[in-house]
Amino acid sequence: MYKSIYIHIPFCHNICSYCDFCKMFYNKNLVDKYLKELKNEYESLKEDNVIDTIYIGGGTPSSLSMDELDKLFEIIKDVKLSSNYEFTFEINPEDIDEELLIKLKDNRVNRISIGIETINEKFYKFLNRYNNKDILKEKIKLCKKYFSNINIDLMYAFPKETIDDLKNDLDFFKSLDVEHISTYSLIIEDNTVIGNKNTLPIAEELDRKMYDYIIKYLEKIGYKHYEISNFSKEGYESIHNLTYWNNEHYLGIGLGASGYINNYRYTNTRSINKYLDGNYIYEKEKVSTRQKEEYELILGLRKINGVNKKDFFNKYGKQIEDEFDIINLIGKKLLEDNLGYIRIPKDKLYIENQILINFIGDIDEKD
């Protein structure tokens, strides 16, 4: 039984140079067909349970027109939401206006996530994203009129970026005074505009320095570092994202979306034609008990608090230390046992993968 829903809207008016998410240029005709198919997909998978979180992400969900948004919300209008539900909608800064915000609010959205990334003009062209500091400030003010739970994205580690550049962005973010900040370093992926241009990443040392700087800065002004790349004011952790990190079931629909239902993890096709033909699924894999235990760590250790040993025992009937090489890793200072939680020491968070590979079973051992 799932309690969270993710909905993917792949359309964008503008393609960012670094983006390797599932996206395409906005096309009215295609959007109509897509929303129809999205409804079909949802109808084929829906359950009758009460839902805690919904997340509509992209692409750019805010690229849709008002009547298209009506069609989108129509799909999920019968979803029963719990009393403390969280319903997030991703917005591109340029799309923010009163009409949109009211539309979202009327349709039960109670959290918005805004992809600001940077306000440094130096990087606009490189990223193919453009902001205006003053306009942005006004727009966030407008958002606050309607929403009391706002996330903004911060990106760093652009080629030639300095710590001073980063500080400027952080100073601006601080002035916006929102509830949640998501940060991530620029990753140069294949098949993106910058990947195709053979852009070189910044030095590993500087990247790490920036990460450490961000943590220090945000913690100092009252944000809690609760997940590797997420910060929030007390009580404003993203409940939806925690569904992922807590290894819980969730429904994912739309192009390229992934989900975890009835013990299957699946990923949808990224081909719009296949999707519109009703061939939603790209791959699907049953998760064995052993793999579930592995995921518990792979995902759970993204949380700063880590994995609760008692919860693990209640879920699997086994001690976590008996199942994995925990004691040895604690000895090597790659893990910590803190008040009943197994967690990654703060100075090792940024090399998390080195720790996680110890929990991965061999490919040929899968059942």
Partner 1 sequence: MDKSHIRNFSIIAHIDHGKSTLADRILEYTGAVSERESKDQLLDSMDIERERGITIKLNTASLHYTYNGEDYNLNLIDTPGHVDFTYEVSRSLAACEGAILIVDATQGIEAQTLANMYLAMENDLTIIPVINKIDLPNADPEKVKNEIIKVFGYKEEDILLVSAKTGEGVKELLDHIVEVVPSPKGNKEEKLQMLVFDSIFDSYRGVVVSVRVVNGTVRIGDTIEMMSNGKTYDVVEITRNTPKEEKLKELAAGEVGFISAAIKDISDISVGDTITNYKDPASSKLPGYKPMKSMVFCGLFPIESNKFEDLREALQKLKLNDASLEFSPETSTALGFGFRCGFLGLLHMDVIKERITREFNIDIITTAPSVIYEVVMTNGDLLYIDAPSKMPEVTKIKEIREPFIKTNIFTPSEYIGPIMELCQEKRGNYVNMEYIDESRVNIHYEIPLSEVVYDFFDKLKSFTKGYASFDYELIGYLPSNLVKMDILLNGEIIDALSIIVHKDFAYHRGKSVVEHLKDAIPRQLFEVPIQAAIGHKIIARSTVKALRKDVLAKCYGGDVTRKRKLLEKQKEGKKKMKQIGSVELPQEAFMSVLSDDYDE
Q: Toward partner 1, which CB reaches closer, 307 or 334?
A: 334
Q: Does 70 bind partner 1 (CB under 8 A)?
A: no
* Beta carbon of residue 290, minimum distance to partner 1 (angstroms, whole number): 13
Q: Does 205 bind partner 1 (CB under 8 A)?
A: yes
Going by DSSP bridges, is the β-strand pair 11-12/4-9 parallel, antiparallel, or unpaired? unpaired
Q: Does 354 bind partner 1 (CB under 8 A)?
A: yes
Q: Which stretch binds partner 1 (CB under 8 A): 29-37, 44-52, 121-129, 352-360?
A: 352-360
Instruction: Give, as ranges, the residues between 81 and 110 that touch partner 1 (CB under 8 A).
Output: none
Q: Toward partner 1, which CB reaches closer, 96 or 334?
A: 334
Residues 195 and 188: beta-carbon distance below 8 Å:
yes
Instruction: Give, as ranges, the residues between 267 and 326 that touch partner 1 (CB under 8 A).
Output: 267, 283, 285, 295, 298-299, 302
- Each residue 19-48 as x (binds partner 1 by CB under 8 A) or -, in order, gives --x---------------------------
Nearest to 275, CA basis, from 36, 56, 65, 90? 36
Kindly report whether the peptide bond that precedes residue 57 is cis, defined as omega within 30 degrees of 0.
no
Q: Does 349 bind partner 1 (CB under 8 A)?
A: yes
Q: Reduce the DSSP state of residue 8 to 3 states and report it.
A: strand
Residues 264 and 286: beta-carbon distance below 8 Å:
yes
- At position 107, the amino acid (one-letter code) is N
Q: Toward partner 1, which CB reaches closer, 204 or 219?
A: 204
- At position 105, the amino acid (one-letter code) is K
CA 327 – CA 315 distance, rounded (Å): 20
30-34 CB contacts, 8 Å cutoff, 24+ apart: 30/272, 31/64, 31/68, 32/68, 32/71, 33/276, 34/10, 34/255, 34/272, 34/275, 34/276
Q: Does 61 bind partner 1 (CB under 8 A)?
A: no
Among 260, 275, 312, 324, binds partner 1 (CB under 8 A): 260
Q: Does 213 bind partner 1 (CB under 8 A)?
A: no
Q: Does 199 bind partner 1 (CB under 8 A)?
A: no
Q: Does 243 bind partner 1 (CB under 8 A)?
A: yes
Q: Does 187 bind partner 1 (CB under 8 A)?
A: yes
Q: Does 207 bind partner 1 (CB under 8 A)?
A: yes
CA 294 – CA 46 distance, rounded (Å): 28
Q: How many residues bind partner 1 (CB under 8 A)?
A: 46
Q: Reduce the DSSP state of residue 276 to 3 states and report it.
A: helix
Q: Does 200 bind partner 1 (CB under 8 A)?
A: no
Q: Does 217 bind partner 1 (CB under 8 A)?
A: no
Among 183, 192, 232, 238, binds partner 1 (CB under 8 A): 183
Please, what is the Cα angle at 308 between 230 and 345, to 5 degrees?
Answer: 55
Residues 155 and 116: beta-carbon distance below 8 Å:
no
Dihedrals phi, psi of 87, to nearest 5 degrees? -130, 105
Q: Which stretch binds partner 1 (CB under 8 A): 25-33, 100-108, 130-138, 176-184?
A: 176-184
In this structure, the number of other CB atoms found within 10 A of the CB of residue 104 comes to 24
Work out whether the CA dihedral 260, 262, 267, 271 comes out positive or negative.
Answer: negative
* Beta carbon of residue 266, minimum distance to partner 1 (angstroms, whole number): 8
Q: Does 3 bind partner 1 (CB under 8 A)?
A: no
**DSSP secondary structure code for residue 359 in this structure:** G
Q: Does 118 bind partner 1 (CB under 8 A)?
A: no
Q: Does 334 bind partner 1 (CB under 8 A)?
A: yes
In this structure, the number of other CB atoms found within 10 A of the CB of residue 360 comes to 12
* Beta carbon of residue 201, minimum distance to partner 1 (angstroms, whole number): 10
CA distances from 213 to 177, 218, 231, 237 (A): 18, 9, 13, 21
* Beta carbon of residue 291, minimum distance to partner 1 (angstroms, whole number): 8
Residues that bind partner 1 (CB under 8 A): 6, 8, 21, 57, 182-185, 187, 204-205, 207-208, 211, 228-229, 243-244, 250, 252, 256-260, 265, 267, 283, 285, 295, 298-299, 302, 332, 334, 349-354, 356-357, 360, 362-363
